[in-house]
Structure 1
Amino acid sequence: MKRDVGSDTTAERLRLHPGIQRVPSPKLDLFVLRDFLDGPECAALRALIDANRRPSTLADDQGIARFRTSETCDLDPGQQLVANIRQRLSGLTGIAVSHAEPLQGQRYSVGQEFKPHTDTFNPDGADYFLHCAEAGQRNWTAMIYLNEPGEGGATRFKAIGKTIQPEAGKLIMWSNLLADGSPNMATLHQGMKVRRGTKYVLTQWYRQNPYG
């Protein structure tokens, strides 16, 4: 199995970036950067999500009821704000925009959640070849909170005992793969239920190879 050299390079680049915090764990590379987006940017993105949302779907649906109950918005890469964010993330990570999936927004209302999951595709799944034959696995995830809900909505990484609270403009990033290129199960995480208010996030997934 091919070594995921790109993930090593990205992790080192993030470690050296001013203001970034690395969550101390030997099990995965997880980074936090506050104020990646400002208030007006977050507000504009929330409005885009509200205007274009649809029920979220699953790539590897295991048939578990209400596993992912959020709504999703596929953001138009032709819009200047969306294009700017993709370029800024690429500049931060050193990962070319050509390796990025389309930027998505998610909206969670009261009671909605995303149960524990990883962002990689199951190598034993029926659709693995369909998802990964050309672009490869999702080797990095970038997620940006666009607001703070009234209560709940944290992101929990159970394997390392880390819970990250939503905060407008905060970026979290993690590597999804082990050094040998296989999925890192320590990245298992969940979007916990929103108890009050609404939660908005952006998600940018990166692939090992150019996407699409």
Structure 2
Amino acid sequence: ADSLVDIREMRKQRLLPWDEDFRGLAASLVRLQNTYDLDISGLAKGHLRTEVPQSRTISGRLPLSARDCLNISQVALDQGFYDRAVEWVEQAVRTAAGEGNVTTSKQELDTFHETVVKEVMRFQAVPWEGFFWQTYGVPVRDRMKRSKEYKAELFQEDPQEYQDSQNYKRLCRGEQLRTLKMDSQLRCRYYKGQDGFFKLQPIKLEEFNLKPYIVVLHDVIQDRDLEDLIAFAKPRARNTIPLFRNVKWCTFLKRFCSLLAASTWLFEQNATIASRLNRYLTALLGMGTSDSNFEAEPYQLANYGTGGHYLPHHDYLYDVYEDSDETDDFSQFPSYGDRLATLMIYMSDVEEGGATVFPKLGVRLTPKKVKMVIYKVQPDSSAQKLRALGDCCHLRSSVANKWFRSYGNVFRLPCSTDRYASMAPLV
């Protein structure tokens, strides 16, 4: 009895995992597998084989039991990954066949396998009912399994949303989608800032796309500044969901709308690092950076855990202001104006995964400590290509985001007659 009390007390203090922790870890594993197309037999043996950024196998200490595989399949089913649910329950059957100490019965496995297959068949049979659910990765009919053209035809015929999803995963895996012709106009150069502040030590700038404009600045932030940002975020970060542009769809698709990260907001008055970084960015970009003067939003500090990611989304807010039904935090501040540009600062190196991708543009940005990403945000035809911005699944990383607003920068970055103009005076 005393031991049971001790266990309950340890759980209250979060010293032992809860059921939600196990389910969360299983969901993260499914997302990582789904994004990076990880080998399920290797995962079941406790091994992780990666192709990005390099091909290698990370050996684990313990293999998964048949019960573990069944639990993962159940989580995949709940998350809408029906194809992965089929894979994991079939892996559970294979694992159970070789188990000395039986962890689950054949009857339980067969019953659940039949349930999953019936769900897949039901969604595939009813037009549009399964539109938002992933039922196409592993065809359950033998005829479809034998078809060599299955995956290729599927990609060609899927709606645009599915093509974006496929591009998202391909970019996350490190596949090259852009042609040499598309990249022929891009260049690397040195950037001296807006006021000559960096004339003696110019910043290394790398272009990734011109319309819309996406650039990376290398070695811009000092380690001590990153340490101050992380120190501020650690005790304050909490699990969050993103600002989603369509609350009604997000309510319906709740499991797909989550920003799987712990985050917090850093305002100027919270810590000196915010003011110091604001002054630095003003000298670097020529933009107003103050959140108290409505020139920009405060810093969003996000820490991605295992499987953490941000699904494809867009950063501009004009649709939030136009939709009277929207009730998110940002709609309370229309005086800020819309977002002009997004700044991302990678605060840590990422051993595997964690890229920022633009599926409609074929752009993939790999995370690296002290690297800064800037891209123009504008609710026009070019911004539609930015709409599918997303962060790939992470093993662990930290990112700082800042969004510049239009009203506070109207005299620093006036509206251009050419909507595709460069980000001057930004870079």
TM-score scaled by length of structure 1: 0.80
Q: Give secondary structure in 2 for the equivalent of 1:206.
A: strand
**1:193 is the counterpart of 2:378:** no
1:71 aligns to what? 262
Q: Give secondary structure in 1 for the equivalent of 2:407.
A: coil
1:176 aligns to what? 377
Q: Deviations over 1:163-188 (max 9, x none)?
A: 1111111000011116xx67711113
2:281 aligns to what? 89
Aligned-residue Cα RMSD (Å) equals 2.5
Distance in 1 between residues matched to 2:315 and 2:260, nearest whole Å: 16
1:205 aligns to what? 403
Q: Give secondary structure in 1 for the equivalent of 2:273.
A: helix
Unaligned stretches of 5+ in structure 1? 1-13
Give the conservation status (yes or no) of the 8 Å contact 1:176–1:184: yes
Residue identity matched to 1:127: E
Q: Deviations over 1:47-102 (max 9, x none)?
A: 22211101223333423314211111111413111211122122222111231111
Residue identity matched to 1:111: G
1:8 aligns to what? none
- Aligned residue among 349, 356, 377 for 1:148: 349
The change in CA–CA distance for 1:131 and 1:23 in structure 2 (over 3 A counts) is farther
Give the conservation status (yes or no) of the 8 Å contact 1:120–1:183: no
Give the conservation status (yes or no) of the 8 Å contact 2:356–2:390: yes
Q: Give secondary structure in 1 for the equivalent of 2:243.
A: coil
The change in CA–CA distance for 1:122 and 1:52 in structure 2 (over 3 A counts) is same
2:311 aligns to what? 115
Give the conservation status (yes or no) of the 8 Å contact 1:86–1:103: no
Q: Give secondary structure in 1 for the equivalent of 2:234.
A: helix
Higher helix share: 2
Higher strand share: 1
The change in CA–CA distance for 1:210 and 1:182 in structure 2 (over 3 A counts) is farther
Superposition deviation, residue 16 in structure 1: 6.5
Q: State, as a whole percentage, how many aligned pairs show the same letter.
A: 21
1:4 aligns to what? none
Q: Give secondary structure in 2 for the equivalent of 1:74.
A: strand
Superposition deviation, residue 151 in structure 1: 1.2
Distance in 2 between residues matched to 1:154 and 1:112, nearest whole Å: 12
Give the conservation status (yes or no) of the 8 Å contact 1:146–1:199: yes
Q: Give secondary structure in 2 for the equivalent of 1:46.
A: helix
Distance in 2 between residues matched to 1:75 and 1:173, nearest whole Å: 19
- Aligned residue among 229, 233, 246 for 1:45: 229
Q: Give secondary structure in 1 for the equivalent of 2:235.
A: helix
Distance in 2 between residues matched to 1:192 and 1:31, nearest whole Å: 19
TM-score scaled by length of structure 2: 0.42
Unaligned stretches of 5+ in structure 2? 1-189, 194-201, 410-427
- Aligned residue among 163, 167, 170 for 2:368: 167
Q: Give secondary structure in 1 for the equivalent of 2:281.
A: helix
Count of residue pairs the alignment pairs up: 193
The change in CA–CA distance for 1:56 and 1:105 in structure 2 (over 3 A counts) is same
Distance in 1 between residues matched to 2:383 and 2:346, nearest whole Å: 23
Higher RCO (CA-CA < 8 Å; seq separation 6+): 1
